[in-house]
Amino acid sequence: EIVMTQSPATLSVSPGERATLSCRASQSVSSNLAWYQQKPGQAPRLLIYGASTRATGIPARFSGSGSGTEFTLTISSLQSEDFAVYCCQQYNNWPLTFGGGTEVEIK
């Protein structure tokens, strides 16, 4: 199975600053990668799919890039509601696999 590794585990950022999150696949997943946001006690929310396509209703401050094995989620200017856990998911191969997540916390 493809292992998804996210870094860092925790990212401390001040409101208004840029956040850059990384996701690495153990083998190529082409552009078949999604990013989710999850807040405590809530279901995940799809942010990005196809590595760079924003899902419906997702603000433009969220952007995704990368292909193959290296991917990045960028939040251009963190808002208070953006402090959460972010995880990546590959859908190039079965089984579908998720990364362990990056927690974005208030600095």
Partner 1 sequence: EVQLLESGGGLVQPGESLRLSCAASGFTFSSYGMSWVRQAPGKGLEWVSIISGSGSTTYYADSVKGRFTISRDNSKNTLHLQMTSLRAEDTAVYYCAKKVIAASATHCFDLWGQGTLVTVSS
Rounded CA-CA distance 103/105 in Å is 6
66 binds partner 1 (CB under 8 A): no
Structure tokens at 14: 């001040």
Q: Which of 55, 57, 47, 33 is CA-nearest to residue 84?
A: 47
How far is CA 66 from its chain centroid? 12
40 binds partner 1 (CB under 8 A): no
Pick the piece of the chain touching partner 1 (CB under 8 A) from 17-25, 29-37, 64-72, 75-83.
29-37
89 binds partner 1 (CB under 8 A): yes
Q: Which of 8, 20, 29, 10 is CA-nearest to residue 97?
A: 29
CB of 14 to partner 1, least distance (A): 26
Give the footprint of partner 1 on this chain (CB under 8 A). 1, 32, 34, 36, 38, 43-46, 49-50, 55-56, 87, 89, 91, 94-101
